[in-house]
Amino acid sequence: MPGTTGGRAERGFMITTNSLLKIFKKSLLYILPVGVLGTCSPDLSDDPIPPATFADIFINLSLPENLVLNTNGNSKYFSGGVRGIIVHRVNASTYRAFERNCSFQPNNACATVGVHVSTLYMEDSCCGSTFNFNGDPTGGPAWRPLRQYQTILNGNELTVTDEVVN
């Protein structure tokens, strides 16, 4: 009977669908852990950024090599800190100094933050964490802010000290 044939066909289809579902669910059991472990996921027990002591860095903003820091939004790298320092000009009276050691897994050899080519944010191309110029993480596995050092502006001289301000 056509009805019976149809019923068998329908049951057959359902069995196939159920089997597929079972296989799909089983495969998730294997795929999910690999996906989670294979990515740079937030690690709340992560190491802190190592401490750093360094002599004050004096930056004469009148010197040609520092002219880049006379424009809002610009940044320049300096030696110091753990992996170097990014000095960023917010405006004429506000400069920020960020530690380049990434706040995520800072002891990794590649955990170094740089200014993205767009100059709009900072990034650690190692695992892809991104930070805004407040030092806050905006993407990737990093969940802590970048370390910020004290900056003191006196006329045209900007000083960066090893005092951590965040």
Question: How big is the site for ligand FES, counted in residues (CB under 6 A)?
Answer: 13
- Closer of 113 and 158 to ligand FES (Cβ): 113
Applying CB under 6 A, among 57, 82, 85, 111 the residue interacting with ligand FES is 111
- Closer of 95 and 131 to ligand FES (Cβ): 131
Cβ at position 46, least distance to ligand FES in Å: 10
DSSP conformational letter for 72: T
DSSP conformational letter for 80: -
Verify binding: residue 105, ligand FES, rule CB under 6 A: yes
Exposure string of 17-36, with b = 16+ CB inside 10 Å and e = fewer, is eeeeeeeeeeeeeeeeeeee
Contact 101, 111 (CB under 8 A): yes
Verify binding: residue 142, ligand FES, rule CB under 6 A: yes
Verify binding: residue 104, ligand FES, rule CB under 6 A: yes
Verify binding: residue 158, ligand FES, rule CB under 6 A: no
Integer Cα distance of 19 and 21 in angstroms? 5
- The residues of the shown chain that bind ligand FES, judged by CB under 6 A, are 40, 102, 104-105, 108, 111, 124, 126-127, 129, 140-142
